[in-house]
Structure 1
Amino acid sequence: MRQSKLTTTLLALDSLSIYRGLLEDKVLSKLRALLIDLDKANVQLREMINLYNDFYFELAKSNSLSLTDYIIDKIIFDENPFTLKIQALLNGSSDDALEKTVANDLRGLQQVAKLDSTLLKAEITELFKNQCFNPILEGLPDWTLESLILSSPNHINHLQEKFLTSNRWDECLEDLKNFHKRYGCGIYARYSAFVWERADGHGYLKGIDNPDPITLDELVDYQNERSRVIENTLQFLNGFPANNVLLYGDRGTGKSSTVKAILNEYHTQGLRMLEVPKAHLADFPLIIRQLKNRAQKFIIFVDDLVFGDNEENYTSLKAVLEGGLESKTPNILIYATSNRRHLVKEYFGERAGLQSGNHSEEVHARDSMQEKLSLADRFGINVVFSSPDQNQYLKIVAGIAARRNLKIDKDRLQREALQWALWYNGRSARTARQFIDWIEGHDAMN
């Protein structure tokens, strides 16, 4: 390849040190393969066209046709020795040698981001100028040098703008450090909510792109119950001792919504939430190992928790609640919801075993019974959400209607709300919201 911007771009990719993991990225690896192919003495047109389109295809799959946007995104969310060290706050002093290397990588990545498809196609056309392939080469697709970044959370958008408006990306190093100190790195900086999934026998964290947007302001009534959970969460975020929390009570009273709304309220303060399905509770030791050395505070959320009589998953949860040597970590709490106060099913037959002469009954039946009843006690805070009476239910209905600015006659609103509760799921906060959804849509259609 002649000395050109393409040569400089390839050298910039080859020179990456701290951000070297980006060479494994699908888009950048395809781009590098294309530039290497163009550097060969005998360039094969078909191979080159395939490499060009492989790169373009991967870029288009990323939902962006801006190479600049793509590279900035990779810089912000990369997990490497620098970002891991900054987010973990291993020491208060800076590492000049490491930061000098990072600054050099940022300059190199800025060089790559400036690569113009028009220039690249011109170079390719020049290589094959004596062959009749101009229409094919001219038809190679273009990417854009302009930013196409869509709206992001403010803290991410601020850093993106810093890079986009900077003539020298190495001068954004201090902003990058501050971002990682506050929000972490990798998927923990990109997402605030996660779910634990399993595939091929292995568990892993999956980031949630669009978590439930419910906010505390949208939740009407149950302020006393909610305030206890909020107070505990604030203690946790501020580094003070805090408790695991069990929210239990009647269905539809806002237990799960409370937990989700707390994440939306405090995620900018470093709060993250991981939902773990009950079926995967045995993975708790693995989950704890993945999260315990992170700078963020994690709430492990277990929804609709209840165990059958033969289930052993509850022993994994009990071990974490007891705080063993491995599971005791200051950046993790467990918030669980349940419709039951006693999380493990108990049977009258077990109580009968206390006085039974049946040889098939357990000898120490009382011990088994107490073990089952004790699980809920291991949560430091228990918060009860009870079904509302009629006045409280109508208050919730009126509150939701007011927040949506619905202009509905009060008598009609109350009459139809009570009728809705009779027809469907009884009085609850969920029923109130479902009723308001219906009446808002019904009135809009008529």
Structure 2
Amino acid sequence: MTLPGDQTDVLLRIAEALERLSPPSVPTTDWLGHPAYVWTGTAARPVARLDAPALPMLRGIDSQKERVVTNVERLAAGHAAHDMLLWGSRGMGKSALIRAAIRAADAAHPGGIALVQVAQEALHGVTDLFAELGKADRSFLVFIDDLGFEEGDGAGPRILRSWLEGGVEARPANVRLAVTSNRRAIVGRSMSEQDDPINTRDIVDEKLALADRFGLSIGFHNCDQDAYLAIIGGYATDLGLAWEQSDALEWSRRRGARSGRVAWQYVNELAGRAGKAI
């Protein structure tokens, strides 16, 4: 039956309105084509090149580096591997080590592993991410950087526990988690808890129980003066840069800290003074 022209126009306008109301289709992610991705909570953005230092450039964390690199290499090879919690002092290379380990594992097992970085505000969508990654013929390290739950946030830690402990929303077999945090317990302690002589131990034990669900819990500790100078010396030797101990110490005093990050910033300053690119 042929409709009059005015009725046809009405139907076309209705169809166009419905199309505008419907959510846009989410583009399909090629989970095999890139070394890294950023998960927004609803979709993934591919990263064509993973920005990571070469492993020898990470100084002063040899023990931590060996454990992380070995675990990531196992995951890339399709072997049993642990979820990892890297906790402790700022600026000691926790997130840089994760990226560097992925880069090294991908070089050893081309296409075997990818990094998927998830911001804390996108944690609500990680279950959907797991559903996608579980279908891909590849290993993935889901990376949550600088994680910390506020006091009174019970939902966040419970979700994290469910991912780690085999709940209905647990990560699939080809996926492991890597989390960095400034606190081993991830959840901070309030002053009232610290001052309570009755329940302090129970509260601390409950919070550390979340950290204990990671197969590897690796501490990164403050950098003392000798370690700070040794890190600078290693970098400077490799790069052919002249330096003086007193100048390096003055740099750290002006920054108000000693860490691997501050050491690298000083080396970058040395290279700039010498007119070199690094």
Normalised by the length of structure 1, the TM-score is 0.51
Alignment root-mean-square deviation, CA? 2.3
Q: Indicate the structure with greater strand content.
A: 2
**1:442 is matched with which residue: 269, 273, 278?**
273
Letter in 2 for 1:324: G
The aligned residue for residue 140 of structure 2 is 298
Q: Distance in 2 between matches of 1:366 and 1:220?
A: 36
Could you list the runs of 4 or more consecutive aligned residues of structure 1 that deviate by over 3 angstroms after TM superposition?
Answer: 350-355, 364-371
**2:150 is matched with which residue: 308, 324, 330?**
308
Check if 1:389 corresponds to 2:232. no
CA gap 1:426/1:329 in 2 versus in 1, 3 angstroms: same
Q: Distance in 2 between matches of 1:252 and 1:351?
A: 27
* 1:314 Cα offset (Å): 2.4
% of aligned pairs identical?
Answer: 30
CA contact (8 A) 1:282 1:313 kept: no
Letter in 1 for 2:233: A
CA contact (8 A) 2:35 2:49 kept: no
The aligned residue for residue 222 of structure 1 is 61
List gaps (5 residues or longer) in structure 1.
1-78, 80-185, 356-363
Letter in 2 for 1:431: V
The aligned residue for residue 239 of structure 1 is 78
CA gap 1:189/1:328 in 2 versus in 1, 3 angstroms: closer
SS for the counterpart of 1:324 is coil
CA gap 1:353/1:251 in 2 versus in 1, 3 angstroms: closer
The aligned residue for residue 347 of structure 1 is 190
**1:208 is matched with which residue: 35, 40, 47?**
47
CA gap 1:352/1:213 in 2 versus in 1, 3 angstroms: closer
Check if 1:280 corresponds to 2:116. no
* 1:350 Cα offset (Å): 4.1
Q: Distance in 1 between matches of 2:94 and 2:200?
A: 33
Q: Distance in 1 between matches of 2:256 and 2:59?
A: 18
* 1:283 Cα offset (Å): 1.7
Larger Cα-atom Rg: 1
* 1:351 Cα offset (Å): 6.2
Residue pairs, 1:175-186, within 5 angstroms:
none
CA gap 1:414/1:324 in 2 versus in 1, 3 angstroms: same
Q: Distance in 2 between matches of 1:196 and 1:218?
A: 28
CA contact (8 A) 1:351 1:366 kept: no
CA gap 1:351/1:395 in 2 versus in 1, 3 angstroms: closer
* 1:392 Cα offset (Å): 1.4
Tell me which of the two structures has the higher relative contact order, counting C-alpha pairs closer than 8 angstroms and 6 or more residues apart.
Answer: 2
List gaps (5 residues or longer) in structure 2.
1-27
CA contact (8 A) 1:284 1:317 kept: no
Deviation per CA, 1:338-364, whole angstroms, max 9, x where unpaired? 111111122243466785xxxxxxxx9
Q: Distance in 2 between matches of 1:405 and 1:264?
A: 25
Q: Distance in 2 between matches of 1:431 and 1:245?
A: 25
CA contact (8 A) 1:284 1:320 kept: no
Q: Distance in 2 between matches of 1:388 and 1:351?
A: 26
**1:379 is matched with which residue: 214, 226, 236?**
214
Q: Indicate the structure with greater helix content.
A: 1
The aligned residue for residue 415 of structure 1 is 246
Letter in 2 for 1:341: R
The aligned residue for residue 67 of structure 1 is none
Letter in 2 for 1:226: K
CA contact (8 A) 1:271 1:296 kept: yes
* 1:309 Cα offset (Å): 0.9
CA contact (8 A) 1:284 1:316 kept: no
Residue pairs, 1:4-403, within 5 angstroms:
187-198=30-41, 203-268=42-107, 269=109, 270-311=112-153, 312-350=155-193, 370-403=205-238
The aligned residue for residue 31 of structure 1 is none
CA gap 1:365/1:237 in 2 versus in 1, 3 angstroms: same
CA contact (8 A) 1:351 1:369 kept: no
Q: Distance in 2 between matches of 1:413 and 1:292?
A: 52
Q: Distance in 1 between matches of 2:68 and 2:75?
A: 11
Normalised by the length of structure 2, the TM-score is 0.80
The aligned residue for residue 404 of structure 1 is 239
CA contact (8 A) 1:417 1:435 kept: yes
